[in-house]
């Protein structure tokens, strides 16, 4: 009986540090952001008036959602994400499937090498690629110059999306590849035997058996990639110091940062933060729901 009583309090003791930190650094900031997003600083009585916060309802949201600068930054983010996310996941899936083939050579070496960029901070990755893009130090342009061809402008207004996406792909493929690969390794090999006896090629096994079984891992990696894309910040900010094609408000988070600390529009920054968070949450929930439905169908 006492054994039944004790574990009723104990779990809360074990959870206490995590819950205290969760409330302090996640829930309260979110609540504060929501509060800031529905008020505005008003100054009463001329230049020497009192600054006070006035409740303005959804005004800040209307302003945010109709702000052409923010919408433009979302458009640029979409342009970047439509290149980086599919290529990151596509390459991760291909590498994972290849690593899983029986009799592959240099598997360990390749796996370690492809995973290595995960350990490189975004700022450093952007810095390294920045030098690879910079006309005076770019190996590509050095090679083109040597054979007498015109140089490529990696940092121009058109090519900057590809250049940014390349940094994201380089940094992201390895981690996603490992997640997919570990999921593949957990599939019992006997599942493939029947297919092999029927004379199925490795291509057919991958397409018909492995990829369907990988759905949960693929949804998970898609989720990680989308969240990372929505938060893209350090790479474009770093590259900004060598490319004039990246403006102060190039991506949404850069615009939010500028509103909060540059132009003192805290309410606008808070409203935009909440909109981005809700968007992320919505995407995550839809993806998880799709995954859940799939899993239930499999069980039936």
Partner 1 sequence: MSAVRAAGVRRTARPSRVGPTAVLLLGALYALVPIVWVLTAATKSRGELFSTAPFALGTGFVQNLVDLSTYDGGQYWTWALNSLVFAGGGALLSTAVSASAGYALARYQFRGRDAVFMLLLAGVMIPQIALAVPQYFLASELGLANTYWSVLLPSIINPFGIYLACIYVRSSVPEETVEAARIDGASELRTFRSVALPMMVPGLVTVFMLQFVGIWNNFLLPFIMLSDESKFPLTTGLYLMLNRGTGTPALYSLAIMGALLAIVPLVALMLFLQRYWRLDLISGSLKG
| Nearest distance in Å: CB 22, partner 1 | 6
Closest to partner 1 by CB, 83 vs 120, is 120
| Nearest distance in Å: CB 14, partner 1 | 4
Please name which of 9, 88, 67, 68 lies closest in space to residue 267, comparing C-alpha atoms. 67
| Nearest distance in Å: CB 46, partner 1 | 27
Give me 67's structure tokens: 């702000």
Please name which of 132, 140, 139, 189 lies closest in space to residue 166, comparing C-alpha atoms. 132
Closest to partner 1 by CB, 48 vs 106, is 106
Give me 198's structure tokens: 């029927």
Cα 94 from chain centroid? 20
| Nearest distance in Å: CB 182, partner 1 | 4
Q: 161 and 79 in contact (C-beta within 8 Å)? A: yes
Closest to partner 1 by CB, 139 vs 158, is 139
Q: 71 and 141 in contact (C-beta within 8 Å)? A: no
- Residue spans of alpha helices (H) in the chain: 2-22, 28-37, 59-65, 68-99, 107-115, 122-133, 139-146, 160-185, 190-197, 202-205, 211-213, 215-230, 234-240, 252-257, 266-299
| Nearest distance in Å: CB 59, partner 1 | 19
Closest to partner 1 by CB, 158 vs 199, is 199
| Nearest distance in Å: CB 45, partner 1 | 25
Q: 153 and 261 in contact (C-beta within 8 Å)? A: no
Closest to partner 1 by CB, 46 vs 148, is 148
Please name which of 93, 109, 106 lies closest in space to residue 184, comparing C-alpha atoms. 93
| Nearest distance in Å: CB 281, partner 1 | 6
Closest to partner 1 by CB, 72 vs 216, is 216
Closest to partner 1 by CB, 27 vs 58, is 27
Q: 229 and 80 in contact (C-beta within 8 Å)? A: yes
Give me 196's structure tokens: 């092999």
């Amino acid at each position: 009986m006492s054994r039944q009583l004790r574990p009723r309090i104990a779990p809360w003791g074990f959870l206490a540090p995590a819950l205290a930190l969760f409330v302090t650094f996640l829930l309260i900031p979110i609540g504060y952001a929501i509060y800031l997003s529905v008020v505005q600083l008003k100054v009463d009585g001329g230049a020497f008036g009192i600054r006070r916060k006035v409740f303005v309802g959804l005004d800040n949201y209307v302003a945010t959602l109709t702000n052409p600068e923010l919408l433009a930054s979302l458009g640029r983010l979409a342009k970047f994400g439509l290149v980086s996310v599919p290529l990151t996941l596509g390459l991760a899936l291909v590498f994972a499937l290849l690593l899983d083939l029986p009799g592959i050579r240099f598997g360990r070496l390749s796996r370690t090498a492809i995973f290595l960029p995960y350990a490189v901070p975004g700022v450093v990755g952007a810095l390294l690629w920045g030098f690879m893009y910079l006309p005076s130090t770019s190996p590509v342009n050095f090679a083109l110059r040597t054979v007498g061809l015109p140089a490529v402008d990696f940092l121009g207004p058109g090519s900057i999306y590809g250049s940014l996406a390349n940094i994201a792909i380089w940094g992201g493929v390895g981690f996603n590849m490992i997640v997919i690969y570990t999921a593949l390794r957990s599939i019992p090999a006997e599942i493939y035997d029947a297919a092999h006896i029927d004379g199925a090629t490795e291509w057919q096994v991958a397409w018909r058996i492995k990829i369907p079984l990988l759905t949960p891992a693929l949804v998970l990696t898609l989720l990680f990639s989308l969240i990372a894309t929505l938060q893209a910040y350090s790479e474009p900010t770093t590259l900004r110091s060598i490319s004039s094609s990246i403006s102060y408000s190039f991506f949404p988070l850069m615009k939010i940062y500028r509103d909060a600390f540059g132009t003192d529009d805290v309410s606008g920054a808070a409203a935009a933060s909440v909109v981005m968070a809700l968007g992320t949450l919505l995407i995550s929930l839809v993806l998880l729901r799709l995954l859940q439905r799939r899993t239930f169908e499999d069980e039936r």
